[in-house]
Amino acid sequence: MGETEKKALFSAVQPSGAVTIGNYIGAIKNFVALQDEFNCIYAVADLHSITVRQEAAALRKNTLELMALFIACGIDPEKCVLFVQSHVPAHCELTWVLNTITYPGELSRMTQFKDKSAKHADNVNMGLMDYPVLMASDILLYQAAAVPVGADQKQHLELTRDLAVRFNNRYGQTFTVPEPYIMKGSGAKIMSLADPSRKMSKSDENPNAFITMSDDRDTIIRKCKRAVTDSGNEVRSAEDKPGVSNLIAIYGAFTGKTAEETEREFSGKGYGDFKVAVGEAVADALAPVQAEKARLLKEKDYLNGIMKRGAETAARIARRTLSKVYRKVGFYSGD
Ligand code: TRP
């Protein structure tokens, strides 16, 4: 199949701090798996990050680190377009136009806006409210047919689809209406190690609740040993065993083993042995990624080159869509 026959797929990750193994399993690992099937376009979403307060130096560092992590995890810059969102001005430009067909009520009722407004009550800004429109622009600029999203971004993708349809109805066919891409066999949502009823989050105030992609071996094993498990001692994936089920999911994501295989492997053994095995599996899998990331971070020119090339390619594709939009809404082009 020729390059042009593959469908476009877009996704992005915000460079706002540590990346957890939950982010890896839920997003980046899938990005790698999708790169042959689709024309993949992946961004470091720095424009989104500043909707909550960031320290400038940290944001710059996190942006470069996330780019290095993408590549270290196996995203191939020869196969995918890999870029930093703020390097492509069309994202902001399309956001402005889409703002004019978006209603305030649609944005103020977004679950994530309400959650983040409550969490950052001292900084409820228009950017936080407009966040989903910027996300819609990200996706629509590339005529993406598919967007791999976790549950927390589904509402934003729904809005993206509504805006695409609304624009197309008002101005004529312009945007591809994107579909959510649900990964085969991996509904795996990784939960907190301290409270398996909550999603694993880097902003958890308890650092034992999450494992980051840069935690060292001892830290990883210690966190797994401390993970909250359920009553009983049987390693079995079940609804009434959320702690153990979560560890089985983590173990599976890093070893490729199914829940049944893991249950068999640890039958007759207790939680203690299993937790150490999970920690070791995670540490073993992350070691080469961490080494490669460290190596890449020393090759800053190489990373800058990838970003530059990615932004050029992205800008070319985005400009095509934006020109069409500008024409449809009636902006005088001068040529
Ligand atoms: N909002 C997404 C998140 O925090 C990141 C993101 C930005 C994104 N633009 C996107 C995801 C476009 C998918 C498509 O996870």
The string of pLDDT tens digits covering residues 154-206 is 999 999 999 999 999 999 999 999 999 987 655 568 999 999 999 999 888 99
| Prediction pTM value | 0.94
Is there a contact between 38 and 7 (Cβ–Cβ < 8 Å)?
A: yes
Q: What is the pLDDT of residues 275-319, one digit of tens each?
A: 999 999 999 999 999 999 999 999 999 999 999 999 999 999 999
Amino acid at 91: H
Asked if 106 and 159 touch (Cβ cutoff 8 Å), the reply is: yes
Candidate list 29, 116, 241, 275, residue with the active-site label: 116
Which of 35, 22, 38, 24 lies closest to 176 in space, CA to CA?
38
In single-letter form, the type of residue at position 323 comes to S
Quick one: pLDDT at residue 103?
98
| 202 noted as active-site residue | yes
Return the percentage of the chain with pLDDT > 70, whole number.
97
Q: For position 187, what pLDDT does the model report?
A: 56
Distance from Cα 306 to the centre of ligand 1, integer Å: 21
Average pLDDT, the chain: 95
- pLDDT for position 3: 53
Phi, psi of 189 (to 5 degrees): -100, 120
Is 184 tagged catalytic? no
Neighbours of 287 (CB within 10 A): 13
Report DSSP state, residue 25.
I
Mean pLDDT calculated for residue range 208-224: 97
CA of 12 to the centre of ligand 1 (A): 5
* pLDDT attached to residue 2: 53
For residue 300, count other CB atoms closer than 10 A to its CB: 11
Burial code of 17-42, b = ≥16 C-beta within 10 A, e = fewer?
A: bbbbbbbbbbbbbbbbebbeebbbbb
Do the Cβ atoms of 42 and 28 come closer than 8 Å? no
Q: What residues line ligand 1, using a CB cutoff of 6 Å?
A: 10-12, 14, 45, 48, 135, 138-139, 147, 149, 153
Distance 271 CA to ligand 1 centre (A): 36
> Using DSSP, how many helices (H) and how many strands (E) does the chain show?
14, 5
Q: Which residues pair with 84 in a beta bridge?
A: 44
Do 139 and 178 meet the contact criterion of CB atoms below 8 Å apart? yes
- Tallying the residues shown for the chain, one arrives at 335
Confidence class for position 5, pLDDT limits 50, 70, 90: confident
Is 72 within 8 Å of 296 (Cβ atoms)? yes
In this predicted model, what pLDDT tens digit does every residue of 28-54 receive, in sequence order? 999 999 999 999 999 999 999 999 999
Which pLDDT value is given to residue 149? 84
Within 13 Å of residue 58, how many CA atoms lie on the same side as its CB? 9
